[in-house]
Amino acid sequence: MTPEAPAKAKLSNSVEPFILLFSLLSLLNMAALLLPWMAPATVKLLEIFDLGLRMKRAASPRACFIRGRGWLDLLGSVPLRSSASSGPSWPRCITS
């Protein structure tokens, strides 16, 4: 008699795509950390892309923009200060 190998735990089919997506997101985050000059621009582009997708999927894009507070998303994606500008940043203005 030979001992049987322990049975492998089988993951559900819905867990495996989640793990793959989570792994890809982690790799993207690590790449963004390696390129700090690119990270703010990437985040702004993703915010604008997300707003566009939500407005496209909405039954009424106008209602999505006004009542769904899409205007706040648009306002939040606008950069307040360029990294090339010579003006002080807000934290330095507040602390000095």
**What does residue 46 show for φ and ψ, rounded to 5 degrees?**
-65, -35
Residue 76 has pLDDT above 50, yes or no: yes
Instruction: Provide the pLDDT confidence category of residue 31 given band limits of 50, 70 and 90.
Output: confident
Residue 45 included in any domain? yes
Residue 58 included in any domain? yes
How large is the average pLDDT for residues 61-86? 77
Q: What domain count does the chain have? A: 1
Query: What's the per-residue H, E or C state across the chain?
Result: CCCCCCCCCCCCCCHHHHHHHHHHHHHHHHHHHHCCCCHHHHHHHHHHHHHHHHHHHCCCHHHHHHCCCHHHHHHHCCCCCCCCCCCCCHHHHHHC
Domain that holds residue 51: 37-79
pLDDT digits 0-9 by tens, 4-28: 655 565 656 778 888 889 999 998 8
What pLDDT is recorded for position 96? 46
Residue 43 included in any domain? yes
Q: Is the pTM of this model over 0.85?
A: no
Residue 27 included in any domain? no
Task: Give the burial class of 45: count Cβ atoms within 10 A of its Cβ; 0-12 exposed, 13-18 middle, 19 or more buried.
Answer: exposed
More confident residue, 69 or 81: 69
Residue 39 has pLDDT above 70, yes or no: no
